[in-house]
Structure formats: structure tokens, C-alpha cells
Amino acid sequence: MEKNQIIKLEITDLSYEAMGVAHYEGMTVFVNNALPGETVEAKILKVKKHFAFAKIEQIIKESPDRVNIKLNQWVQTGLASLAHVKYDKQLEFKRNQVVNLLQKAHLDDVKVGETLPSPEETGYRNKAQVPVREVKGQLEIGFFRKHSHDLVPLTNFFTTDPEIDRVLVAVRDILRQYHVPAYDEIHNQGEVRYLDIRRSKATGEIMVILVCLHKDFPQLPKVAETIKQIAGVTSLVLNYNPKKTNVILGKVDYLIFGKPQITDQIGDVKFKISPESFFQINSLQTPRLYDLAIKKADLQPDDIVIDAYSGIGTIGLSVAKHVKSVRGIESVSDAVKDANNNAKLNSISNAKYVTGKAEEVMPRWAAKGIKADVIFVDPPRKGLTPEFIEAAVKTSPKKIVYISCNPATMIRDLQEFMNEGYTFNQIDPVDMFPQTPHVEAVTVLERARK
């Protein structure tokens, strides 16, 4: 097999990154955009020792699960690399990811629920982080083509709230109007690196963050004055990121106008969100995810609850009024400030959040003899650490509710808890990210022995 060779392939599977999988002369071939059941003519793009990457030249036999989207830019860019698959099949794909991981871990007897569908299949994102680059002499917003930093100009981001798309395009036009340069990442020059926009569905508030190379630039006063005129925009922040880095946000924010946070709501709890704080991006699906997690916790009025990896306290504050007390841990200090302020905002006096790494704070709490009845964990993709797990077990919780955006690390961690005398019998996938291969999942561990 060699680069540029054109071969006929039968697609038998879908990889966890949503690429079609085929086998050819002992090699595994990953075919962008191809679906199981399809026969395609594909061009080889890259050959490794045991596998290769290819792209479709022609579909010879099409899958009935294929959606023929008009523009396949979203698939090309990786922004929505499941957009060519019917929604019910996307849900099945996500459930299968969990089933396959459990099988690999020899945990075939664990039940996997049907994936909870998202109320919105497109336009669900309450936040967009969009690169700004110069393309053919013009400032453009868009998305990087998969595995590259080539910007594909876009104005419809498909999974983002259309109100955010409207503001993205308006801000792009203002930057063009005042000749603000786009960031040039090769020379670490220019000005605007990213547009980061958040919108609350509950209040309609919109925060615009310009991620810039400098703290200030000559056109900023005029740019700010014009952005203020965009309907719905309630604040403008300049995030200062001077480094040559792929990390999107710098460490310092300057409020240019408006409120320093936007206000959102989950159920009947209000949340103020600072620019650096994490907030679940699918507004209508988040309460359904939390309801599922909270139901699994089976909370009692006397329960002491730990909310680990708490963000702005969304889970802990949603349950605080039904339990004795809540303690939260989160590593981003702005998010912790938000969490404690959000407690006050909602007249909650039995919840307290601290800044720190969960894997460091939890062992300190355990050493002090702090006990918990229920622990909620909602870590980033890399999951928990052995130090965290060991300390969590020492607080002797009856239940540990695990919410995860990466079932692979979740299942690894669940096995650690099993070694410590906890059991679980079901995992429920929840679709927080339609049109993408990302899988969210919830489970509850119960203490089987002392």
C-alpha cells in the first residue's frame, strides 16, 4: 500500500473518532467520513506500519444511516465529525463506545442504558471559541481543518446557538471595518487570536471575549463602542495571551465594558459565570444530566456531600437545599469565587467551595477525618488519580456518582473503586455533544463492604 493509491474498501466499523474502519491486505485503514456498510473508492493519504489513513473518492454503496448534509465543512473541520450520521445512529454509536470499553475491561455484565438524546440536535452550544486568522488577505473566523492549523472560514458553526453565530459574524465585520489584524501564529504577531462568546439561554446575556496578543491595541476604543451596539451583547472582555502557544486563553482578563460575568440558570438555581470558569455547554441537556446524576445519588436530608471538580458549583448548589452540607473542590480560582458567590446569590448557606487540585485537597480532608455520604466527581477527560481515589474511599461514602466526558478513563477509575470494595451495575450515556463523537456518561458506585 502506498500514498495516493486508490483502492476499493468495505467499511466494517466506526472508530471512536468517527472514522470508517476497513481492512486491506492485513492493514487497518481509517477512512474519513465513511460509514459501516458502505463500499467506497478511497485514496490513501498516509501509511504507517500497521494502519493507514484514506479519504473517500467515491461512494459505491451508500449506508442508509448517512445524512447528506449540504456542506460537509463541519465534517472536514472536525467541528461536527458525526454530522453525516442520522441522529438515532449517533446515539447508538455512543452507547456502543461504552459497551466496547466495558467488554475490553471484562465487565460485560454491566448494563448500559440507551443514550439520553439531547433536546436540541444542532445549535445547542452556549459557547463558541473560534480562531481568527488571515486567509487570502482578509480577516476570517472559522475552524481549523482536522489535525492542522489551516483555517476553514465559516459563518454557520452548526452546533452553536445561532444567536452566537450572529454575534461572531458581527464582531468579525467590526474587526475588518477597523482593520484590526488577525493573529499570525507563525511569527507570533498580529492581534486577535480567538473570539470566545458565551450566551445564556435563560437570560439572553451575551459575553464577548477578544483573545488578543496585546493588552491593548489602537482600534480598541472604536471596536468596543461598535461591539456595544450589537443586540444582546452585555459585556466585552479582552483576554491577554502574549505567548506562542496552542492554549486558547491567557491568564489575565480586562473588562472593557459591561458585567464581569454572565448569569445563567439551571433548574431554579442561578449561576454567575466568569470568563475562565467551566460551564456545561449544552444548556437544555445539562439539567437532564444533573437530574439523572442526582437521582442516582438518592440523597437524604442528613447527607454530607462532596462536589469534586465542581466548576462554579452547579451540581453541589443544585442539591444543597436537600442535604445537610456541601463541600466543593475546584482548581480554577475564579470558578471557586463564582461557586461561593453563587451560593450567596441563591441564599444557600450550607455549601463551601475551596480552590485546589482535587487529588491534593481530598487526601488532606481524609487525613483530617472528614466523612462524606455522597461524592459527586466530574473530572476532565484524563479522569481521576490514584491519590484522589484512595482518599475518597477513606471518607467512606455510601455512594460515589461519577459523571464523565471520557468513558475510557471512567471505566479505568471504576475498576480502581471496585478494588476498594465498591460496585456498580449500570452506565448511562448522555448525549451532551450531538454531531460529535464525544460521549458523556453517568454511573453510581455503591459501597459493598466496609
Ligand X SMILES: C[S@@+](CC[C@H](N)C(=O)[O-])C[C@H]1O[C@@H](n2cnc3c(N)ncnc32)[C@H](O)[C@@H]1O
Q: Which of 357, 398, 412, 447 binds ligand X (CB under 6 A)?
A: 357
Question: Which is closer to ligand X, CB of 314 or CB of 340?
Answer: 314
Cell of 19: 472514522
Q: For the segment 103-132, give every residue that binds ligand X (CB under 6 A).
A: none
Q: Determine, following the binding rule CB under 6 A, whether residue 309 of this chain makes contact with ligand X.
A: yes
The burial class, CB within 10 Å (0-12 / 13-18 / 19+), for 121 is middle
Q: Which listed range, 24-32, 60-68, 138-146, 326-334, lies at the site for ligand X (CB under 6 A)?
A: 326-334
CB 433 within 8 A of CB 409: no
| Catalytic residue status for 405 | yes
Residue of minimal CB distance from ligand X? 311
Cell matching residue 413:
477509575
Nearer to ligand X, 274 or 314 (CB): 314
Do 263 and 274 form a contact (C-beta atoms < 8 A)?
Answer: no
Shortest CA distance to 407 belongs to which of 107, 88, 85? 107
Q: Which of 79, 329, 351, 410 binds ligand X (CB under 6 A)?
A: 329
CA distances for 363 relative to 216, 313, 360, 389, angstroms: 43, 21, 6, 9
Tell me how far, at minimum, the Cβ of 308 lies from ligand X, in Å. 7
Please list, in sequence order, all residues whose beta carbon lies within 8 angstroms of the beta carbon of residue 99, skipping any fewer than 6 positions away.
Answer: 112
Other beta carbons within 10 Å of 340: 18
Phi, psi of 178 (to 5 degrees): -100, 15
Tell whether residue 161 is among the known ligand binding residues: no
Query: Which residue, 309 or 417, has its beta carbon nearer to ligand X?
Result: 309
Q: Are 72 and 80 in contact (CB under 8 A)?
A: no
Catalytic residue, candidates 405, 430, 432, 441: 405
Closest CB to ligand X among residues 280, 395 = 280
What x-and-dash track marks residues 15-34 binding ligand X by CB under 6 A? --------------------
Nearest distance, CB of residue 387 and ligand X, angstroms = 10
Contacts (CB under 6 A) with ligand X, residues 402-431: 405
* 10 among annotated binding-site residues: no
C-alpha cell at 405: 466526558
Beta carbons of 313 and 334 less than 8 angstroms apart: no
- 271 lies in the site for ligand X, by CB under 6 A: no
Q: Does 358 bind ligand X (CB under 6 A)?
A: yes
Q: Is 380 in the site for ligand X (CB under 6 A)?
A: yes
Question: What are the Cα distances from residue 432, in Å, to 54, 285, 411, 442?
Answer: 29, 6, 19, 12
Report which DSSP code applies to 182: B
Footprint (CB under 6 A) of ligand X, residues 333-352: 335
Listed in sequence order, the residues at least 6 apart from 162 whose beta carbon sits closer than 8 Å to its beta carbon are 123
Query: How many degrees, rounded to 5, is the angle at CA 357 between CA 353 and CA 360?
Result: 105
Q: Are 237 and 255 in contact (CB under 8 A)?
A: yes
Residue 167 vs 358, nearer CB to ligand X: 358
Q: Which of 77, 280, 285, 340 binds ligand X (CB under 6 A)?
A: 280
Say whether residue 365 binds ligand X (CB under 6 A). no
Assess 354 for contact with ligand X (CB under 6 A): no
Smallest separation (angstroms) from ligand X to the CB of 243:
20
Residue 88 backbone dihedrals phi, psi, to 5 degrees:
-65, -30
Least spacing, CB of residue 408 vs ligand X, in Å:
15
Neighbours of 428 (CB within 10 A): 21
> Could you tell me which stretch among 9-17, 233-241, 308-316, 344-352 binds ligand X (CB under 6 A)?
308-316
Between 38 and 359, CB nearer to ligand X: 359
Residues with a known catalytic role: 405
Q: Output the known binding site for S-adenosyl-L-methionine.
A: 280, 309, 330, 378
Residues that bind ligand X (CB under 6 A): 278-280, 309-311, 314-315, 329-332, 335, 357-359, 378-380, 405
Q: Output the known binding site.
A: 280, 309, 330, 378
